Structure 1
Amino acid sequence: MTTNARQDRLTHPHTPRLASTITDAYSLEVSATAIAGLSAAAPAIMRGATIAIPYLPNQDDAARLAAACMVRKLGFAPMPHLSARRIGSLDALHAFVRRAVDEAGVERCLVIAGDPPSPIGPFPDSVSLIDTGVFERCGIRTIAVAGHPEGHPGMPASERWDVLKRKCRSIAERGMAPLIVTQFAFDADLVLTWLHALRARGIAHPVRVGVPGPAGVAVLARYAARCGVGACTAMLSKYGISLGKLLGTAGPDRFVDRLATGLTGAHGEVSLHFFPFGGIAQTVAWVEQYRARTAPHRAD
């Protein structure tokens, strides 16, 4: 395949993506307590890859900052989460972002409302964090916000679209680049439909689609329930999960295959964000195996 032919295939609005390229430039979700696993798997991960550090209630700012510093030391780009309702004050927000930039070279953050039903401080949602001006003043270049292809239990679809557009607009108006990172999903067709609706609404920013890494069926079902992912039995079955076989394991092969087949240039810039529920090493190994399986499609 010539360079021009390959480029046309990747950018023409109606041409499917190559399955072997969909895992290029993937990112990973890694908690502060899992940095040792990231360190062990680091040689197999592309240098400069984005590593998202979730804002978990049992970890303090010191732990998250230490994790971000270690991610940078390993040669990756840390992207700490900030949970609006868990931040007690504007000073606390500024102190964390300032230190993250100065000590870990952080250039991007992901902002979410968070799980608590009411805020402990002045920030009820992610928009209120963005609108403080703290991020651009501290030197943050990219702000990631959440997308929900399979729905959100606390917000109807029309409101979700309005909020997403507002967040992206505010980020761009403040001179930063919006990025959309979706909740992990099980139904690739729903993701493709959501991406089409996203672009139809004029939201053209890059998207990272959340993908569960290979893990035990029971583990995947538990995370889905905990995170409010709308994973019904039929949806899980499409992913390759049988709730009657909870002792088995499942990987994202079907999901990623279908996504790769369905994506075209019309869907815009789309990459993958892995949630390594079964372990970082297992997810990285799966990526390598998937690339090997689809490698013949790379041949010129």
Structure 2
Amino acid sequence: MRNKASTAPTLQRLLENARYEVLPTASTEDKVLEHVPRDVAVTVTASPGKGLEATFDLAERLAGHGYVVVPHVAARMVSGRTELEEICARLTGKGISRVFVPGGDAEPAGDYLDALSLLEDLAALGRPFSQVGITGYPESHPTIHDDLTVQSMWDKRRYATHIVSNLTFDPAVIRDWVHRMRRRGITTPLLLGIPGPVDRTKLLTMATKIGVGESTRFLAKNKGTFARLAAPGGFTGESFLEKCAPTLAEPTALVEGLHVFTFNQVAETEAWRRGLLDRLRD
């Protein structure tokens, strides 16, 4: 690893504060139980095809096993404040204190056309969750201008405790985006989104199985990203993290940890994280 001495402390801190994003399939619970330690938080995506019930059901079961879980509450999949109140009561009743609020790819089911409107209602309901994450877009969003994505983070900053960046593979993009965001006065802490190790065959199988999960929708919209993820031998974030380390180490960057898109390759992701931590500690 290049410049190991200088990058190791930052990379070690981020890897120790990593959380895993999983897709709610029939085998996900068993995979998490077998391979993920209880000190790693698990986020559960929401897809229009499966509905929020699949997300909340898995989140509740994992919480029952002692995990810190972060269900995605996709705004466009919630019909309005009445349903949102029911969701809050359901999740907090199971001890779930963290959520992630994307806009979501679904057609609006009711009142919420975007994440901001749902976040405003969460605040009106007394901020029932101690941690609320929102999405950041280092790369251009397929349907939203870059200036609007930064403005959106500014608008949502009062309601969020952290920003989760979507996938990118260019350290320069991360550097410029973080600096631009901080210059704008957005001081919300950041979790850097990276892919775990991805096997081509398994990724294609998962994409076919899930179809409309937010992560795979992202891949479908960003063919260059998909091609790099699906390259023979897969992709791990080691080199990417190493190149990002100078930016991530800046005190003003406020990068608190990693958000790892596992694409349900949970065992491979944890083995990669543990292996990299062991090498950094040597």
TM-score, normalised to structure 2, is 0.83
**SS of alignment partner, residue 250 of structure 1:** coil
Decide whether the 8 Å contact of 1:78 with 1:108 is kept in 2: yes
Structure-2 change in CA distance of 1:64 and 1:203 (3 Å): same
Shift of 1:181: 0.7
- 1:178 corresponds in structure 2 to 161
CA–CA distance in 2 between the matches of 1:22 and 1:217?
26
Structure 2: runs of 5 or more not aligned: 208-213
C-alpha spacing 1:191/1:215, structure 2 compared with 1 (3 Å)? same
What is the SS of the residue equivalent to 2:113?
Answer: coil
In structure 2, the residue matched to 1:79 is 70
CA distance in 2, matches of 1:91, 1:204: 32
* Distance 1:207-1:102 versus aligned 2 partners, 3 A rule: same
In structure 1, runs of 5+ residues without a counterpart are: 1-8, 172-176
Change (3 A) 1:127 1:236: closer
Equivalent of residue 238 in structure 2, options 228, 253, 266: 253
Match of 2:47 in 1: 56
Counterpart check, 1:65 vs 2:56: yes
Residue-by-residue CA offset, 1:24-63 (whole Å, 9 max, x unaligned): 1111112232122111113xx252x321111112334443
Cα distance between partner residues in 1 of 2:151 and 2:279: 40
What secondary structure sits across from 2:269 in the alignment?
A: helix
With over 3 angstroms needed to count, the CA separation of the structure-2 counterparts of 1:93 and 1:195, relative to structure 1, is same
Shift of 1:231: 5.6
Give the structure 1 partner of residue 129 of structure 2. Answer: 140
Equivalent of 1:96 in 87, 102, 112: 87
Tell me the secondary structure at the aligned position of residue 131 of structure 1: helix
Q: Is structure 2 residue 159 aligned with structure 1 residue 167? A: no
State the TM-score, normalized to the length of structure 1.
Answer: 0.78
Displacement after TM superposition at 1:232 (Å): 7.2
Query: CA distance change for structure 1 residues 62 and 86 in 2, over 3 Å: closer, same or farther?
Result: closer
2:257 to 247, 267, 271: 271
Task: Give the CA deviation at 1:16.
Answer: 8.8
Q: 1:226 aligns with which of 217, 221, 225?
A: 217
- Cα distance change, pair 89–278 in 1 and its aligned pair in 2 (3 A): closer
Provide the identity percentage.
23
Q: Given the superposition, is the C-alpha separation of residues 242 and 28 from structure 1 closer, same or farther in structure 2, using an over 3 Å criterion?
A: closer
Shift of 1:206: 1.1
> Of 13, 17, 26, which residue of structure 1 is paired with 2:18?
26
